[in-house]
Amino acid sequence: MKKFIPVVIIGFIITMAVSSYFGKVESALSDNVLRLHVIANSDSDADQELKLKVRDKILQSSGGVFAKDCNIAEAKETVKANIAEIEKTARETVAENGCDYPVKVTFGKSDFPTKAYGKVTLPAGTYEALKVEIGEAKGKNWWCVMFPPLCFVDASSPEMSADAMAVLKENLTDDEYALVTNSDNAGVEIKFKAYEIWQNGKNKVKLMLK
């Protein structure tokens, strides 16, 4: 039994070190990434289709709102200044498709799971996001990276442009950038998923101890 104690201790230290590293990456990304979150009224085919139409209209109307040399702080202020117009676009799209659902658009912090966007994989965490809630907002949701402008390229198959990648690189350390843009996306996603599971487990333990 005593032989296993050092192994357990070493394993714990490694786990904590890895968790700390991924936590720093998550924090850096959440400070430098702005996301778009669209939530459907329900999971019915019609409501899910409506969600995508609202998404497309928002992306179409918002694609040019960011200046070319815009930084994350300016991007957030730009989004906040355009919330009313974005909500108007969403409401009009809902009405044009024969629905009378209310639409609520807010800006704030939201929790996101691990997600791959083309060559970039973002870890689970709390990110600032523009949230669009359609009707009861109980259906499947859709999300992407609004800044750097990833989701304006192709909403159905997002791929970061060279400019967007450059903005991301400017705001991360070399190691952080190399990690999230690793050519082995599947491997990176598995690592982030493992970190996500670890964090969820740790949070559950904290709640149990309260």
Q: Tell me the angle at which helices 45-62 and 83-96 cross, rounded to the nearest 10 degrees.
A: 140
Using CA atoms, how far apart are residues 86 and 91, in angstroms rounded to an integer?
Answer: 9
- On whether residue 19 sits in a domain, the answer given is no
Q: Is the residue at 15 inside a domain?
A: no
Number of domains in the chain: 1
21, part of any domain: no
pLDDT band at 65; cut points 50, 70, 90: low
More confident residue, 72 or 188: 72
pLDDT at 25 over 60: no
Q: Residue 96 domain-assigned?
A: yes
Cβ(62)–Cβ(82) under 8 Å?
yes
Domain with 170, as residue range(s), is 31-209
Structural domain includes residue 18 = no
Query: What is the chain's mean pLDDT, rounded?
Result: 75
**Burial group, residue 2, by CB count within 10 angstroms (0-12, 13-18, 19+):** exposed
* Angle formed at CA 52 by CA 51 and CA 54, multiple of 5 degrees: 65
pLDDT band of residue 107 (cuts 50, 70, 90) is very high
Residue 58 falls within a domain, yes or no? yes
- The bridge status of strand 125-134 relative to strand 103-112 is antiparallel
Q: What integer pLDDT is reported at residue 209 of this predicted model? A: 56
pTM of model > 0.75: no
